[in-house]
Amino acid sequence: MSSTKQNSAVQSIVNDLLVELHARSGCEKIGLTRESFAVILCEVGTKHATATTSETEIRSFFLTLRVDELALARACAGGNNSAWEIFLTRYREKLYLSALRIAREDSAARDLADTLYADLYGTSTRDGQRVSKLSSYTGRGSLEGWLRTVLAQEYVNRYRRTKRLVSLDEESEDGVQFCAPDPEPAPAADTRLEQATDEALALLSAEDRMVLSAYYLDERTLAEIARMLGVHESTISRKLDKLAKALRKQILGNLVRRGMSRRQAEESMDVDVRDLQVNIKRTLTQESSPPAFSEKRAEARVREGSG
Amino acid sequence: MPNVPNFVRERLKAAEPTAGHPDADVLTAFVEQSLRSVERARVLDHLARCADCRDVVALALPATEDAGAVTLVPHRGWLTWPTLRWAFVAAGIMVIASFGVMRYRESAQPEQLSRYAAQKVEVARESRASAPVSAVARPETKRDKALVPSARSEADTKSGAAVEPKQLVDTELASAQPATKQMDRLSSQQPSANDFHGSVGGPIKRQISNGPNPPAQWQQQNAQLPPVRMIAPAAPPAATAPQGANAGANTGNLSQAVTVEVAGEAKPVATEAQDQNSQAQLQSSDSQERSAYSTVGKAKAPVNVETASAAPATDAAGQQELPRQDGNINGRNFVLATTPALLPRWTISATGSLQRSFDQGSTWQDVDVNANSALSMSSLEAFAKTSRAREKDSNKKALKAAVATPTFRVVTALGSEVWAGGSAGALYHSADAGSHWTRVFPSAAGTNLSGDVLSLEFSDPQHGRITTSTPETWTTADEGQTWQKQ
């Protein structure tokens, strides 16, 4: 929460930059008054600014805002018809196409797009006021990108719900304990291994960890991860190589520091009961054609896709 | 890709999101790379722990087609290796191509140069022929009979150039008979009267025949001209030779050549009437030829004409007795054909002999200016007679002495035009890069060039300057036809 001091700072900066920002926003065409716009800017600014944000940062924040799209979105949220016309002309087609890309299936995409459109238009009301999702758009990213993100969030939420259900079923069938996120109390070696691993992971940067997670947990492709981070695919490839080697070395060192001998440490790293299990499973799934595990996963995907 | 141990995966999965999920705005800004570093790190940390948000980010990525708006792959710029690689290849190809073009041009250029030089020679000859037309008229009165042949020969060449030659010819016709007789004498004495240079104002073409029967020869020429004319237009039309006089002179040259072909003929002298006819014919045919040659290309035309004229000359004339200097004359024609392509370098050896090299100086061959010399005793005598009587004999002796291979001191060459000067006023000129030489006797106002030739400067084939040891300075503006003493 930003302090009052920050609020007044934001206010003054808004006043400073209002003329310029207003000129760029094209408010007149969409029926947004300058005063309303100023209010909007202040709200956005205060939402973003923290106690530690400097004035220069606030100023640069405002200057990099996409004020024209912000004005359009807020005018639409306010129910301005001319704004809506513009919005529909520009974004309706794109909305549907993005939904299609996300859902990968026509009916699901249409459903997704229509749901979002209703949310954007503000079919629901609260305290007599139209509640539009467009009010939460603050102009930090492009409106088109924001629409895509919202679609993706909606889609993931749906999938998440479905996924949760499926994964529970799966786990119960596989015999794994139901509430499994916490590791089982394991022999000392395991604990030490866990600790050593956590330590090693903690040393990595957020980006490194994100890459590791995306690659090993989500099993995303190098290209996808590269696009997410805005780097070249080869960068991700090199990073993963380096990380894997560094991680192994680091964990080994941590284990040794925890009292294991080197040989012991290597053994515990290479031979882990759970690893064996998972390895066998993995081997089995690779060799044979769709085993139960993957089948279930595939079924779940289809289910949630049509849902 | 390397695999991490599964316990690592487990630990990764176990990480819980620290704060709440970032809202759509922030995620969008993250995808579009517009977050500041601090905020971006925070989002990344959340993403490392939150699979759902990772899913959202992955799904919210723009389609690869319209990645321009949200470029996740940074622009590599022009200096990346793949682009540079092809740039290098292209540059290499261009370098090789330009080398090839340059080499081709270099090899083509000497040919062009020599061709151009030969053309210039032709032009020079033409202008030389036309220039002293008036000069011819003047000394006509002073000239001795002996000079008539030369004048007539000159008229041969210059015929058609202007009205004057015509007059000159007519004038000469009056003395045709005696002159003819004289020429007979000359021809009997000395085979070649060609290339008799340096008479007083007497521009004699080098290719002047040995003397016998100019009218008859002209008749021959006339007969031969049509074929020549036919050939000429076939030659490349790049005519830079000025029209009129030059063309006429060019014609004259060629008729000279033609004349040379039939030079050796010992045909009976035509009667005056015949002469007149032939003269008239010559005029008309020359004018025709002139027009033909006005379109003549440079080196090619003379070549074509000459070689062609050789044939018709043979046919038409019937008795194709080549002059006594047979090979030379013929050779000259053919040499002219080859000269454009092969211009030698010139030097004077330590012993004073003239040398030339056809391989840019690797090997040198001695050149004997007298081997193909057009100098004849008759011309010597003629020349001698220009001097004052009392000097006549001494000059004659000097000249005779000089007929022996002189000691050269200086040589200059402009394309295939070569001038060599040496001791005792020896001055030789070749128009065909040294295959045939003419002794030149600069003479003006009754005096001859004497002394050793110390320097030769020819800025172009027409204009030259000689410095001697006397010391004297002689200049010419008509390729050595006439000289002025400074």
Q: How far apart are CA A201 and CA A247, in angstroms?
A: 8
Q: Nearest CB to A148: which of B42, B62, B72?
A: B62
Q: Nearest CB to B7: which of A155, A207, A272?
A: A272
Query: A210, A232, A249: which to substitute to probe chain B, counting the most B Cβ within 10 Å?
Result: A210
Q: Is B72 close to A153, i.e. CB distance below 8 A? A: no
Residue B101: the pLDDT is: 94
Which of B89-98, B114-123, B362-371, B386-395 shows the highest mean pLDDT? B89-98
Measured over the CA atoms of residue A66, residue B59, residue B11 and residue A186, the dihedral's sign is positive
Chain B (441-480) residues lying within 8 Å, Cβ to Cβ, of chain A? none
Q: Write the burial class of residue A106 (CB in 10 Å: 0-12 exposed, 13-18 middle, 19+ buried).
A: exposed
pLDDT average, residue stretch A208-212:
92
Residue B40: the pLDDT is: 92
One-letter amino acid for residue B75 of the chain: H
Residue B115: the pLDDT is: 72
DSSP helix/strand/coil, B159: coil
Instruction: State the DSSP code for B65.
Output: G
Q: How far apart are CA B160 and CA B284, in angstroms?
A: 8
What domains sit in chain A, N to C, each tagged with a CATH number? 1-65 (no CATH), 81-178+292-307 (no CATH), 183-271 (1.10.10.10)
What would the 3-class secondary structure string for A159-171 be? HHHHHHHHHHHHH
CB B54 within 8 A of CB A207: no
B39 interfaces chain A, CB cutoff of 8 Å: no
Q: How far apart are CA B218 and CA B279, in angstroms?
A: 7
B341 interfaces chain A, CB cutoff of 8 Å: no
DSSP helix/strand/coil, B67: coil
Pairing of strands B427-430, B417-422: antiparallel
pLDDT per residue over A35-70, tens digit each? Answer: 888 888 888 888 888 777 788 888 888 888 898 899
One-letter amino acid for residue A191 of the chain: T
pLDDT per residue over B115-144, tens digit each? Answer: 766 677 666 666 665 555 444 444 444 444
Q: Domain limits of chain B? A: 6-66, 107-342, 365-485
Cα B477 to the center of its chain, rounded Å: 20
Q: How far apart are CA B346 and CA B410, in angstroms?
A: 10
pLDDT per residue over B84-125, tens digit each? Answer: 888 899 999 999 999 999 999 988 776 666 676 667 766 666
pLDDT per residue over B136-193, tens digit each? Answer: 444 444 444 444 444 444 444 444 444 444 444 444 444 444 444 444 454 444 444 4
Residue A281: the pLDDT is: 53
Residue B317: the pLDDT is: 41
Q: Which residue of A has its CA nearest to B58?
A: A228
pLDDT over 90, % of chain B: 8
**Residues in CB range of B310: below 8 A, 6 or more apart:** B261, B330, B333
Cα A57 to the center of its chain, rounded Å: 24
Place of tokens 């009754």: B446
Q: How far apart are CA A281 and CA A277, in angstroms?
A: 6
CATH of domain B365-485: 2.40.10.480
Q: Which residues of A touch B12 (CB under 8 A)?
A: 201, 209, 212-213, 216-217
Mean pLDDT for all residues in chain A: 79
